[in-house]
């Protein structure tokens, strides 16, 4: 028999485990599940099969992951750091890496915090307690549950925005058999603001059934992380110096003007804005040594080179020619396509 616990106690424990935001939602389907299927059916997921295969149906109900679940404890971990935003970045010949990937793998950091919270709850709840930890990769509509748990509203850029702290948060969830009083979702405070929409260089933020959404097929993050093929030629010039992800829609958001910064060492940049020429010449072994244990390994070495070649085309310098000529004969078709495109733009 599990012992009763309050939502306030849960939040205090989450804070002890390193989370700046915490709240509780009911473990039941959210209204956004219909929107999600509409989004997938409209093709907005692009080639991300994990968003549209059998796991799409699993996302309908958290009890598909834990049948005994009665509550979803949502936790937010701040990763903003006191370094420039991308709209303040003007370093020719250097690259932009999305802020969330500057440090170590956030999956491990969040999981450690949630495991600690889970242990504390298990000690207090007693027999009958059941739980499941979810970090990013689980088929769960985490932003929707975070909204229900009072952590923030979902902005036009589809990021969860907290009124006091902005949007620079990783999200993690603990599904639990505890029957907790749920928090209430906050009001949407984006109003008529369209800065994220106006600033997106590829026009990826588009109208949707529940307000604005992101068409992944137009998004720089999709081009540089998820898409294995070459980026659409019509969009290549708009991707700028980004080689992994994109922060523009968060960097221009007014709610991030006073966003707090983290002192967590895990999220400090290992290598801020490295030079393109250096990156184009590293071996696969050097790539693993430089970026191992960070999100940058997701597109693998060939995807990394593809992105570097694309950024070189958007910052054409004659000194890039030897590296681009070498990449133009790479075994990967997408790397070759980007390198050939970039070579044609050299002065």
Catalytic residue numbers, as ranges: 136
Tokens of 215: 């068409």
Tokens of 114: 């949630």
- Scanning the structure block, which residue is given the tokens 């993050």? 221
Whether 15 and 31 have beta carbons less than 8 Å apart is answered as no
CA distances from 313 to 203, 239, 240, 241, 320 (A): 20, 10, 9, 9, 9
Count the alpha carbons within 13 Å of 3 in the hemisphere toward its beta carbon. Answer: 10
- Scanning the structure block, which residue is given the tokens 């959210």? 30
Tokens of 278: 């250096």
d(CA 340, CA 118): 51
Burial (0-12, 13-18, 19+ Cβ within 10 Å), 266: middle
- Scanning the structure block, which residue is given the tokens 């979702």? 185
């Amino acid at each position: 028999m599990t012992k009763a616990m309050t939502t306030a106690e849960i939040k205090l424990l989450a804070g002890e485990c390193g989370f700046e935001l915490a709240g509780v939602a009911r473990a039941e389907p959210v209204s956004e599940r219909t929107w999600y299927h509409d989004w997938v059916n409209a093709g907005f997921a692009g080639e991300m099969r994990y968003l549209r295969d059998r796991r799409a149906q699993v996302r309908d109900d958290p009890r598909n992951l834990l049948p005994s679940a009665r509550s979803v404890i949502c936790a937010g971990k701040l990763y903003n750091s006191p370094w420039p935003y991308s709209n303040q970045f003007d370093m020719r010949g250097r690259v932009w890496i999305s802020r969330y990937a500057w440090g170590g793998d956030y999956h491990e950091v969040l999981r450690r915090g949630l495991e600690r919270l889970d242990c504390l709850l298990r000690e207090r709840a007693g027999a009958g307690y059941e739980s499941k930890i979810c970090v990013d990769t689980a088929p769960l509509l985490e932003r929707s549950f975070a909204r229900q748990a009072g952590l923030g509203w979902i902005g036009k850029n589809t990021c969860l925005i907290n009124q006091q702290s902005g949007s620079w948060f990783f999200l993690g969830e603990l599904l639990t058999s505890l029957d907790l009083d749920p928090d209430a979702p906050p009001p949407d405070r984006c109003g008529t603001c369209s800065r994220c929409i106006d600033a997106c260089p590829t026009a990826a933020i588009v109208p949707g059934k529940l307000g604005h959404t992101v068409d992944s097929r137009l998004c720089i993050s999709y081009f540089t992380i998820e898409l294995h093929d070459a980026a659409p030629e019509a969009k290549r010039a708009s991707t700028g110096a980004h080689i992994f992800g994109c922060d523009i829609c968060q960097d221009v958001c007014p709610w991030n003007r006073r966003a707090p910064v983290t002192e967590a060492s895990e999220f400090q940049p290992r290598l801020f804005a490295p030079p393109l020429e250096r990156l184009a010449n590293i071996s696969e072994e050097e790539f693993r040594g430089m970026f191992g244990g960070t999100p940058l390994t997701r597109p693998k070495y060939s995807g990394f080179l593809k992105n570097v070649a694309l950024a070189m085309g958007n910052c054409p310098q004659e000194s890039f020619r030897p590296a681009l000529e070498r990449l133009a004969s790479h075994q990967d078709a997408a790397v070759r396509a980007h390198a050939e495109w970039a070579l044609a733009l050299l002065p």
